[in-house]
Amino acid sequence: MVRTILQKCTACGAYGLAEICKECGSQAQAAGPMRFSPEDKRAHLRRKMKNVESKEWAESLPSPDDGGEEE
Ligand SMILES: [Zn+2]
């Protein structure tokens, strides 16, 4: 599986997908874990993986109907 990691330029801070900054030509490095990125481009894939639109998934969630003292 090919992973595309967001790169951040070490010189100007521009983001890109290449290891060489397209803005200034400097070295760019991985911008860090994307797990909490607000721009989660893989969110739809993970949702699909977890089958979140299925009834089973919905029922696996904590529900206020359960008596609901869970945090
Ligand atoms: Zn740059």
> Does the pTM of the predicted model rise above 0.85?
no
Residue 23 covered by a domain: yes
Residue 19 covered by a domain: yes
Give the domain range for residue 26: 7-30+37-62
Residues 4-54 pLDDT 10s: 678 999 999 999 988 899 999 999 988 766 556 667 777 788 888 888 888
Please check whether residue 20 is in contact with residue 11, taking contact to mean a CB–CB distance below 8 angstroms: no
| 26 Cα: distance to centroid of ligand 1 (angstroms) | 5
| 38 Cα: distance to centroid of ligand 1 (angstroms) | 22
Looking at the predicted structure, is the pLDDT value of residue 68 above 60? Answer: no
| 35 Cα: distance to centroid of ligand 1 (angstroms) | 23
Residue 71 covered by a domain: no
| 39 Cα: distance to centroid of ligand 1 (angstroms) | 21
Residue 70 covered by a domain: no
Q: Pick from 8, 4, 39: which is nearest to 22 by CA?
A: 8
Residue 12 covered by a domain: yes
Total domains in the fold of the chain: 1
Residue 1 covered by a domain: no
Residue 15 covered by a domain: yes
